[in-house]
Amino acid sequence: MASRVILLSGLVALIVNAALALDNNPILDFCVADTKNTVLVNGYVCKDPKTVQAEDFYASGFHIPTNTSNQLGFNALPATAAQIPGLNTFGISAARIDYAPGGIIPPHSHPRATEILIVLEGSQLEVGFVTSNPENRHITKVIGKGDVFVFPVGLIHYQRNNGSQPASGIVAFSSQNPGVHTVANVVFGSNPEIATDILAKAFQVDNNVINQIKSHF
């Protein structure tokens, strides 16, 4: 009886573990992405290991601020498996983020990754995320240079540079391809669009309010 309980809890632990392991575990030293291969797999097909070079594991320019002259006032330089082929199958990626004064990264989620943000410059970076239903608890803080903040996998989060100077940071993700769902674009800018009356009911407003928002996406 006791051994059955142990076996059962072992199985449950395995299943739970599998459910939490988002990117698959590597089974080779490396599987450098052959980004030109048209075969569709979960990730990228491996290049012939004999042709792999140091450049496959390399990127540069992450010390240079990106251009934040855009509507939202932020920009990002990604370092995912799409840019660094050697990241394929390793469950990790990163990005440089720049924020103009007043710039925001609008509410969004990464379906496949927890994110950790390390602030390089800035003194008034508002960060926050919201927990699942039914609590919908808003966890938020103002952080600055040298501070670190974590955004749990899948949860909707945002950032705003409330300072008068540009801010920047490096983020790392627990996926080679974290994915991004930007709430406004997903809800109001999908293609084809979600029916206006569905959104009107969901947001408890008139159709014309929904149509007005849709017209911006």
Ligand X SMILES: *[C@@H]1O[C@H](CO)[C@@H](O)[C@H](O)[C@H]1NC(C)=O
Q: Which is nearer to ligand X, 124 or 182 (CB)?
A: 124
Identify the three-state secondary structure at position 169.
strand
d(CA 59, CA 50) in angstroms, rounded, equals 21
- Please give the DSSP secondary-structure letter assigned to residue 54: G
Going along the chain, which residue ranges are E strands? 74-79, 93-99, 104-109, 115-121, 125-130, 138-143, 148-151, 157-161, 167-173, 181-182
Say whether residue 69 binds ligand X (CB under 6 A): yes
Query: Does 110 show up as a binding residue in the annotation?
Result: yes
Q: Which is nearer to ligand X, 33 or 143 (CB)?
A: 143
Nearest in space to 126 (alpha carbons), one of 147, 141, 104, 111: 141
Site string for ligand X, 92-111 (x = CB under 6 A): --------------------
Please report how many Cα atoms fall inside a 13 Å half-sphere around the Cα of residue 130, on the Cβ side.
11
Say whether residue 67 binds ligand X (CB under 6 A): yes
CB 142, min distance to ligand X, A: 5
Question: CB–CB of 32/56 below 8 Å?
Answer: yes
CB 167, min distance to ligand X, A: 13
117: tokens are: 């943000």
Scanning residues 130 to 169, which ones bind ligand X (CB under 6 A)? 142, 162
Per rule CB under 6 A, count of chain residues that contact ligand X = 6
CB 155, min distance to ligand X, A: 20
d(CA 188, CA 87) in angstroms, rounded, equals 33
Site string for ligand X, 7-46 (x = CB under 6 A): ----------------------------------------
Q: Which is nearer to ligand X, 143 or 187 (CB)?
A: 143
CB 67, min distance to ligand X, A: 4
d(CA 214, CA 193) in angstroms, rounded, equals 9
Say whether residue 71 binds ligand X (CB under 6 A): no
Q: Which is nearer to ligand X, 162 or 196 (CB)?
A: 162
Say whether residue 126 binds ligand X (CB under 6 A): yes
Query: Does 157 show up as a binding residue in the annotation?
Result: yes
CA angle, 62 then 151 then 75, to 5°: 35
Catalog residues that contact ligand X under the rule CB under 6 A. Answer: 67, 69, 124, 126, 142, 162
